[in-house]
Amino acid sequence: MRMIRTTGARFGMLPMAVLALLVTGCGTHRPGAAGAEAPSRTAATPSKPVDFPCPGESPTPTPSARAQSSGPATPPPDHYAENHGFMVPFPLHGRHRCDGLAAVRRVEGALEPLRERGDFDPGSTHSALTALGFSAGKVQAYQNGPTGVGFLIDAFPLCVEGTMNRDSTQADAFGGYPDHTGCDRPTGGH
């Protein structure tokens, strides 16, 4: 029996098909061609949130403590930051930022008399925060060490979190967490 070989013909067809594709071109737009006036395209850049001075603030706002990274200068090779990004809260911008700064001042002002008296009872902290108008069901206060109280106010999309101890009362406002509604820190990610 005699076999006819067609392999050479098949290999010759591939370069011919590629050459035909190159000769015909892939479109009709020719840059610089006469009469071809297409609208110019500009690269889309994401808009940066606008921050402006809030009442009672200097014209150059200082970055919040949450916006600063406490991690190492170079990312660890095991994708730690990527895998834990769901626990990084959103910063507030624009009008929400001003609302957050105002809420922080109100909270610190309400808790400072408790701190000066040495009243680090979570019940007292809860009462002081609800007296500001926050819903009782949206305020959490808990013991934070032997002489300290931690608190979280869920006025979503505005969240206020902080601590009070013998030395200071500190609060910070943020806008929640990625892939999570509410102000409590998520425990699981992707």
Per-residue pLDDT, 181: 79
DSSP notation for 145-181: STTEEEEEEEETTEEEEEEEESS-EEEEEE--BTTB-
> Is the pLDDT confidence value at 2 over 80?
no
Q: pLDDT (tens digit, 9 = 90+) per residue, 89-102?
A: 888 888 899 999 99
The residue ranking higher by pLDDT, 6 or 48, is 48
Structural contact between residues 149 and 125, judged by C-beta atoms closer than 8 angstroms: yes
d(CA 152, CA 77): 33
- The kind and range of the H/E element at 11 are helix 7-24
pLDDT band at 43; cut points 50, 70, 90: low
